[in-house]
Amino acid sequence: MKFFAAVAALATAAFAQNITIASPSSGTSVHAGEQLLVDVAKPNSQTSSQEIVLLLSLVHCATEGCADTFDPSAGAVGQILYQGAYSPQYHSEAEVYGAPYQNFTVTMPSSLSPGDQVALIATHLSLVGAGQYTNLQNTYVALNVVSD
């Protein structure tokens, strides 16, 4: 019984450490070659965590769209737009997301074509809790590529 309680506690701690792509929202229209502001938010938690890395990347979705065909747990990272430190902070506008967040400016690849649907993926690795358990998370938003 203690084993199940420990597993439940770890699962709860890991879930509380999950990030979200606060902006752009799913369905946002983007242009090839343009700069895009990406806000990655991380809700507060009473469980300690140490941020290791954040990866922002882009993959093409099938013609059915990202929701029907893209599985972020499959491990495909696609074209890397950012890789490096993640240090979410409270900002004066924190009430917008209700959580600490960090802004990233990325450039959409010029090879994108109007009509494409792509998934902007955030892959997040952190160490969670006093026991320093690894927490790997993938989340995404679908973006629509439009012409100028």
Q: By the 8 A CB rule, do 31 and 143 touch?
A: no
3-class secondary structure, 26: coil
Per the CB < 8 A criterion, the answer to whether 82 and 58 are in contact is: no
Domain architecture of the chain: domains with CATH: 2-145 (2.60.40.2550)
Give tens-digit pLDDT for 72-92: 667 678 899 999 999 998 877
For 81-136, what is each residue's pLDDT tens digit?
999 999 998 877 555 567 889 999 999 999 999 999 999 999 999 998 887 889 99
Ramachandran region, residue 115 (left: φ > 0; alpha: ψ -120 to 50; beta: rest): left
How far apart CA 23 and CA 106 sit, in angstroms, is: 12
Specify the pTM. 0.82
